């Protein structure tokens, strides 16, 4: 089981320029601050999931196979990467949903809408991975949530290719996400710009 060096994760910390958001509508400002706090929490979950994830790579494949064949790795240990990958996906997808709330209902600075679109460019496809992970009883039978046959003969359910985690969506297409520091930094960079777009006091 992987152990986390929490000091190494500080590079992913978000910073807030103040304690409160300026604005005449205090209720709206308060709601915005709360949502940004929820986003911060979800990013933290994504960071921890990434830190715990241990991909099987070309470098460690021989050691992994030796442990697997000798029975040194329990089925409980083998399921951990799947748990971390799902948590990673659910956290980053949850952030997009909160950004949708910010940009759609709380009159944000115009930069926020632009940055939300940028976030969707990188992470909008995660909804397909999340939905297939949740409705695996359907996807495993090769059907959509409404019982229609998938438009593919190849159904991938949570497979790993080194750091990449892949699912077939209900439209028959394959979607993947790389569980890496690069992915986390991309999300962090966009979120930090969103935070900085607001006037703080």
Report pTM. Answer: 0.91
pLDDT value, residue 78: 81
Q: Is residue 171 domain-resident? A: no
Q: What are phi and psi of 173, to 5 degrees?
A: -90, 160
- Higher pLDDT: 127 or 56? It is 127
Q: Is residue 84 domain-resident? A: yes
Report the mean per-residue pLDDT for the chain: 92
pLDDT tens-digit series, residues 80-118: 999 999 999 999 999 999 999 999 878 899 999 999 999
Quote the percentage of the chain above a pLDDT of 70: 91
Q: How far apart are CA 197 and CA 99, in angstroms?
A: 13
- 166 to each of 19, 25, 54, 90, 130, how far by Cα in Å? 39, 43, 16, 14, 11
- CA 94, 96, 102, 105 torsion: positive or negative? negative
Of how many residues is the chain composed? 201
Structure-token pair, residue 42: 């979800």
Q: Examine the pLDDT at 161 and tell me if it is beyond 80.
A: yes
Total domain count for the chain? 1
Q: Is residue 134 domain-resident? A: no
Confidence of residue 65 (pLDDT cuts 50, 70, 90): low
Residue 77 domain boundaries: 25-126+180-197
Q: In this structure, are residues 37 and 29 in contact, taking their beta carbons and an 8 Å threshold?
A: no
Nearest to 50 by CA among 165, 174, 169: 165
Least confident of 33-37, 54-58, 171-175: 54-58
Q: How far apart are CA 148 and CA 189, in angstroms?
A: 39
| DSSP structural state of residue 59 | T
Quote the percentage of the chain above a pLDDT of 90: 79
Residue 196 DSSP SS3: helix
Q: Is residue 91 domain-resident? A: yes
Nearest to 185 by CA among 92, 103, 52, 53: 92
pLDDT value, residue 60: 63
Q: Is residue 19 domain-resident? A: no
Q: Is residue 164 domain-resident? A: no
pLDDT value, residue 57: 67
Mean pLDDT of the region 163-173: 96
Nearest to 23 by CA among 97, 106, 103, 111: 106
Q: Is residue 9 domain-resident? A: no
Nearest to 91 by CA among 130, 46, 121, 150: 46
pLDDT value, residue 201: 93
pLDDT value, residue 68: 59
Q: Is residue 149 domain-resident? A: no
């Amino acid at each position: 089981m992987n152990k986390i060096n929490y000091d190494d994760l500080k590079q992913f910390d978000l910073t807030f320029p103040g304690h409160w958001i300026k604005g005449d509508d205090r209720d709206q400002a308060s709601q915005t601050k709360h949502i940004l706090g929820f986003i911060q929490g979800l990013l933290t979950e994504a960071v921890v999931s990434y830190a715990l994830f241990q991909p099987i790579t070309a470098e460690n494949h021989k050691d992994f196979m030796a442990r697997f064949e000798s029975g040194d790795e329990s089925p409980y240990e083998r399921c951990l990467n799947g748990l971390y990958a799902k948590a990673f996906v659910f956290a980053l997808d949850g952030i997009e949903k909160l950004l949708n709330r910010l940009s759609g209902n709380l009159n944000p600075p115009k930069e926020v809408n632009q940055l939300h679109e940028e976030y969707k460019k990188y992470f909008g496809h995660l909804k397909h991975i999340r939905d297939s992970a949740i409705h695996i009883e359907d996807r495993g039978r090769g059907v959509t949530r409404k019982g229609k046959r998938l438009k593919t003969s190849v159904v991938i359910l949570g497979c790993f290719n080194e750091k990449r985690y892949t699912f077939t969506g209900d439209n028959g297409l394959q979607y993947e996400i790389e569980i890496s520091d690069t992915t986390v930094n991309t999300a962090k960079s966009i979120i930090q710009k969103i935070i900085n777009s607001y006037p703080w006091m």
